[in-house]
Amino acid sequence: MAGFLLRRIAMTIPVMLVVAIVVFLLLHLSPGDPAAIIAGDNATTADVEMIRVSLGLDKPLLTQFALWIGALLQGDFGVSVFNKVSVWTLIVQRMEPTLALAGVTMSFAVSIAIPVGVLAAWKAGTWIDHLAMGIAVLAFSAPVFLIGYGLVYEFARVWRLLPVQGYTPFSQDFTGFWQHLVLPAITLGLVFAALLARMTRSTMLDVLNEDYIRTARAKGLAPRAVLIRHALKNAAVPIVTTIGLGVALLIGGVVVTESVFAIPGIGRLTIEAVTQRDYPVIQGVILIASFVYVLINLAIDVAYAFLDPRIRY
Amino acid sequence: MTHGLRASTGFGRRVLFACAVLAGLLQPAAAAEKTLRAVVHADLKVIDPTWTTIYITNRYGYLVYDTLFAYDSKFQAKPQMVDTWTVSPDNLTYTFTLRPGLVFHDGQKVTSADCVASLKRWMAKVSAGQVLAKFVGSLDIVDKDTFKLVLKEPFALVIDTLGSPLTAFMMPERIASKPVNEQITESVGSGPFRMVKEEWRPGNKVVFARHTGYVPRKEPADYLSGGKIAKLDRVEWLYIPDANTTLSALMAGEIDYFEAPPLDFIRLLKDNPDLTVLNIDNLGVQGLIRPNSLNPPFNNFKARQALFYLIDQPEFMQAVAGDDSLYMQFCGAYFLCHSANETEIGAVRKPDYAKAAAMLKEGGYAGEKLVVLMPTDRPQYAAATTVLIAALRKAGVAVDIQSADWSTISVRRARKDPVDKGGWNLFITTQGGPDTANPITNGWFNSRCEAANNGWACDPELEALVGKWMREADAGKRHTMIDAIQARAYESVPYVPFGQFFQPIAFRKNVTGVLETAVPVYWNIDKK
């Protein structure tokens, strides 16, 4: 296992390098110019050119890439071309809200989806199954922004139970932290919960038709023991894979959810950086995100070994 | 002994605690900190007001920095940091003395050396300052509170230029004297609020705290002039990109002030009894079509003139503003209606597509596709561009619509290439406030060819008229000269105004003292 872990971690280096090259080229070869945005709408061509020179954007692409990679190898992600704040600082500032949102969303989704999926499989073909899967289809199909605005209208505007927007750090106010995350987590989590519930149901149905389940039932085991100990444990590998893939889905969904609920997270940072062509910030965020993906995949692979004794690395 | 001491300490503690509680009960409650939570129109990204023409940075400048002069509600420049000033009989030497008590946020006293360095930076970088710089022979320190500006030739608008919203913000000399091509990243001004930089979260929140050392002028606040009294302890600028979320937050009382609500929200906001909707800028915003003077057919003035006959202002304004209480039915003034330089000379009131077609043909248009740039992520610009495209088609013009996000458009419109090599023919933009109302600070009116804004309007005759205007000392004569300037502009067409609309702000009823200024400012505002 240790060898496997080391090999996988070592593999992240070429992956990161490829990501760095692709991201850099994509950004610099696509149209757009941060200098024009910094200068503002009423600036003259000369003003824009002066800013471009001061940012080093007039240098050949290869030189710019060499400078960026050189700094990156020393752990320097660069500074935002707009506010001159270090990219690492910006990412760290935005990391907590995104991690908190993703964590709460994931917990919410998993705690709802797995029991619902198991129940739907157990009661397959009954009204419980139809109702659960009907709601899942609805939740999966509804756009995130529609769910978000609907929840804000009901719970924040009409009933005034929860705040409309913003984020309060855990360290600052425990109650405020949860109050600010409830609506975004439901908004973002519903889609994922729906996906996971459907996945759990279908996997469980396959497992419940296996011979060993029939044997377990024939032995007179309690339904709960059959479901949890025998069926769910054996269905866990595809479910864990879906949870892992769901993280990617969450990161995509975070962009919209953070905008609707004005949460200052990585999603909003990315969108703003892209629209403004803040190259160092985009490059930094994508590199970190890629690294996180690699780590998540690694964690999933490790989880397989624990869930299924037949899997060995 | 030890036991006795312990007992005595315990008793003493209890007595002290009781006294503290009693004192707490008897003392008047400490006044709660007053914080205004305002959602502003854009994220503050650049904190160097000489570095960019972005409006949000100018608004930041008015919070953090103070100015030598400032406009009052009649657009007269009034002294702000300046106590007294004199002008020599030959109108060439201006001597300024600073008022006492001016201090920067770092506690240092404001001196004439700071002002001279700040003015030099402004004259090198900002368009209004660059105009003044052409006339300046020298700018020297006389003593720690006095400095002297000596002109090479008379310039009637020295004080007006210093007071215009594109004004020079006074910074400490050590900051202002940095190379002009180096962006300032420190925030040290002498204005009524200071930026709390450690709480700055780019893309989310900017925090300003009252500058306790600020000494306001005695006169009441009037537009951007007068006493800047900071009644709030803190101002928090929040950047919420989603307007629906901001609207909900304002209605729920989570925020106090919405600086630029989308115009289609205005009726909804007006109907809410908890909110006040106020138009703080009587001059409003001018929409304009910018032709590219380098590329045919708009390198011919006849073709540019034809554009006037495509304009149905109410139609454009309906697309941009919607609610007819938010725009003027017609304004033909280059320097805005309601301004001191308003005139109708040359204005074309009604569209005439047949005439436009004929003039375009006369101007060399031969049926080729004209490239119109459309920024898809700027709803007002996109809406107006749609109306323009329909009008062009009515006049028989073939249109090549180039839709892209703003960042891409901003690069494309800076290209001087021919249309078939990535150039362009037309785009739409807006400008507003007192800067637009003046031929020397109206950026898109500048017709200095290569030195003009994108589109490179080029008319030496128009520039000569503006030159005469700015040298004329008599305000009455200057006013009549505006007619000639506008008449010439309707011939050479640096741009085509397509209407004037207003952008109200909205705030909760417990917010009072909002000043009617073109630049939203936060002094004089109180929150109950």
The CATH number covering residue B348 comes to 3.10.105.10
- Give the Cβ contact number of residue B85 at 10 Å: 17
Question: Does some domain include residue A80?
Answer: no
Question: Does some domain include residue A312?
Answer: no
Contacts of B451 in chain A (CB under 8 A): 44, 46
Domain shared by B442 and B381, yes or no: yes
| Alpha-carbon span B345 to A30, nearest angstrom | 45
pLDDT of residue B31: 59
Last residue of a domain, one of A40, A73, A106: A73
pLDDT value at B10 more than 70 = no
User: Percentage of chain A with pLDDT > 90?
Assistant: 62
The DSSP call for residue A59 is S
Last residue of a domain, one of A11, A40, A73: A73
Question: Does some domain include residue A139?
Answer: yes
Question: Does some domain include residue B27?
Answer: no
Domain shared by B239 and B366, yes or no: no
Partner-chain contact A41 B451, CB within 8 Å: no
Beta-strand relationship, B136-143 and B69-71: unpaired
Partner-chain contact B245 A46, CB within 8 Å: no
| Alpha-carbon span B471 to B131, nearest angstrom | 12
pLDDT-derived band at A10, boundaries 50, 70, 90 = confident
Domain shared by A106 and A215, yes or no: yes
State how far Cα B398 lies from the chain centre.
36
pLDDT value at B11 more than 80 = no
Q: pLDDT tens digit string along A264-298? A: 999 999 999 998 999 999 999 999 988 888 888 88
Domain shared by B264 and B360, yes or no: no
Domain shared by B455 and B515, yes or no: no
| Alpha-carbon span A158 to B308, nearest angstrom | 49
pLDDT-derived band at A58, boundaries 50, 70, 90 = very high
Domain shared by A130 and A214, yes or no: yes
Tell me which of A29, A30, A42 to substitute to probe the interface with B (most B C-beta atoms closer than 10 Å): A42
Domain shared by A174 and A253, yes or no: yes
User: Measured between CA atoms, how close is B274 to chain A, in angstroms?
Assistant: 14
Which residues between 48 and 107 in chain B have a beta carbon less than 8 angstroms from any beta carbon of chain A?
51-55, 57
State how far Cα B157 lies from the chain centre.
19
User: Measured between CA atoms, how close is A230 to chain B, in angstroms?
Assistant: 47
Instruction: Tell me which amino acid residue B359 is.
Output: M
| Alpha-carbon span B229 to B371, nearest angstrom | 50
Domain shared by A285 and A162, yes or no: yes
DSSP three-state, residue B293? coil
pLDDT of residue B3: 42
Domain shared by A44 and A153, yes or no: no
> Which has the closest alpha carbon to B118: B141, B100, B134?
B141
Domain shared by B290 and B276, yes or no: no
> Which has the closest alpha carbon to A280: B108, A288, B167?
A288
pLDDT value at B91 more than 70 = yes
pLDDT of residue A305: 80
Average pLDDT over every residue of A240-252: 79
Domain shared by B372 and B510, yes or no: no
Domain shared by A284 and A171, yes or no: yes
Q: What are phi and psi of B402, to 5 degrees?
A: -110, 100
Instruction: Tell me which amino acid residue B32 is.
Output: A
Domain shared by A126 and A54, yes or no: no
Number of domains in chain A: 2
Domain shared by B392 and B421, yes or no: yes
Question: Does some domain include residue B450?
Answer: yes
What is the pTM assigned to this prediction?
0.88
Q: What are phi and psi of A102, to 5 degrees?
A: -65, -40
Last residue of a domain, one of A17, A45, A73: A73
Q: pLDDT tens digit string along A109-133? A: 999 999 999 999 999 999 999 999 9
Domain shared by B448 and B473, yes or no: yes
pLDDT of residue A302: 85
Tell me which of A85, A165, A261 to substitute to probe the interface with B (most B C-beta atoms closer than 10 Å): A165
| Alpha-carbon span A32 to A35, nearest angstrom | 9
Which domain covers residue B102, as residue numbers?
32-281+506-528
Domain shared by A59 and A114, yes or no: no
B254 interface with A at CB cutoff 8 Å: yes
Domain shared by A150 and A284, yes or no: yes
Question: Does some domain include residue A7?
Answer: yes
The answer to whether the beta carbons of residues B497 and B506 sit under 8 Å apart is no
Contacts of A276 in chain B (CB under 8 A): 45, 407
Domain shared by B342 and B491, yes or no: yes
CA trace torsion A160, A164, A168, A174 (10° rounding): 30
Average pLDDT over every residue of B112-118: 98
Domain shared by B276 and B306, yes or no: no
Number of domains in chain B: 2
pLDDT of residue A223: 87
For the domain that residue B155 is a member of, what is the CATH number?
Answer: 3.40.190.10
Question: Does some domain include residue B433?
Answer: yes
Q: Which residue has 């023919």 as its token pair?
A: B425
Domain shared by B407 and B523, yes or no: no
For the domain that residue A139 is a member of, what is the CATH number?
Answer: 1.10.3720.10
Q: How far is CA A1 from CA A4, A10, A299, B17, B154, in A?
A: 5, 14, 12, 61, 84
The answer to whether the beta carbons of residues B226 and B78 sit under 8 Å apart is yes
Which of A28-37, B466-475, B489-498 shows the lowest mean pLDDT across its residues?
Answer: A28-37
Domain shared by B237 and B372, yes or no: no
The answer to whether the beta carbons of residues B170 and B96 sit under 8 Å apart is no
Domain shared by A47 and A100, yes or no: no
Which domain covers residue A196, as residue numbers?
93-307
pLDDT of residue B20: 46
Q: pLDDT tens digit string along B426-453? A: 999 999 888 899 899 999 999 999 989 9
Domain shared by A176 and A286, yes or no: yes
pLDDT of residue A76: 93
Q: What are phi and psi of B384, to 5 degrees?
A: -65, -35
Domain shared by A215 and A158, yes or no: yes
Question: Does some domain include residue B49?
Answer: yes
Question: Does some domain include residue A78?
Answer: no
